[in-house]
Chain A
Amino acid sequence: QLQLQESGPGLVKPSETLSLTCTVSGGSISSSSYYWGWIRQPPGKGLEWIGSIYYSGSTYYNPSLKSRVTISVDTSKNQFSLKLSSVTAADTAVYYCAPVVVGGFDPWGQGTLVTVSS
């Protein structure tokens, strides 16, 4: 059974780059059975898809964030990563990683709160 765990700094300064890693266990990140996604949730608000990466390496980003987002995969570590540049307070959120097998995102990682503040 797949399990995912997000990790990374909980505090990032404005204008800097947010970097998070999602470690996958219980399955291979190279499997064609899944694709992998990042989703975020500002405090007290709803869910926003950031982007996804396929086993082939193809990436798809939310146009609202596309100019600032990079998602990549490290197959040797069974991890995938998120980089979001030029962050502002509006990027403060809980960041989740999750796979899609068939249908929706399932299961989700526990999430990690990233606060953008000087």
Chain B
Amino acid sequence: EIVLTQSPDFQSVTPKEKVTITCRASQSIGSSLHWYQQKPDQSPKLLIKYASQSISGVPSRFSGSGSGTDFTLTINSLEAEDAAAYYCHQSSSLPLTFGGGTKVEIK
């Protein structure tokens, strides 16, 4: 099973700051890494697919990078509406797995 380790677990950020969340895979997964945003009491929403591919309707301040074992989700100029938990997910091999999540709080 591929283990995804996210860091940090929690981040408190002021609006307009840049946020960086990392996801490390226990073995190489190529670019089969996807990012989700989950706001309180809502379902997860796909933000980025295949490490860096944008999703229609997702604000351009969200971007992803990385390949192999190390991946990054970047939120440029954080807005208040970005307060949420963020999860990475790998689809390289079964069982499909998710990272433990990163909670982003707005100061």
Contacts and interface: CB of A to CB of B under 8 A. Distances in A.
B61 interface: no
B59 interface: no
| Chain A interface, DSSP helix/strand/loop, else mixed | loop
B46 A46 contact: no
Interface in B41-69: 43-46, 49-50, 53, 55
Interface in B80-107: 87, 89, 91, 94-101
Contacts of A106: 45-46, 49, 55
A48 B91 contact: no
Top 8 nearest A-B pairs (CB, nearest first) are A103-B49, A104-B34, A106-B46, A108-B43, A49-B96, A47-B98, A62-B95, A104-B46
Interface of A: 37, 46-49, 52, 60-64, 96, 100, 102-111
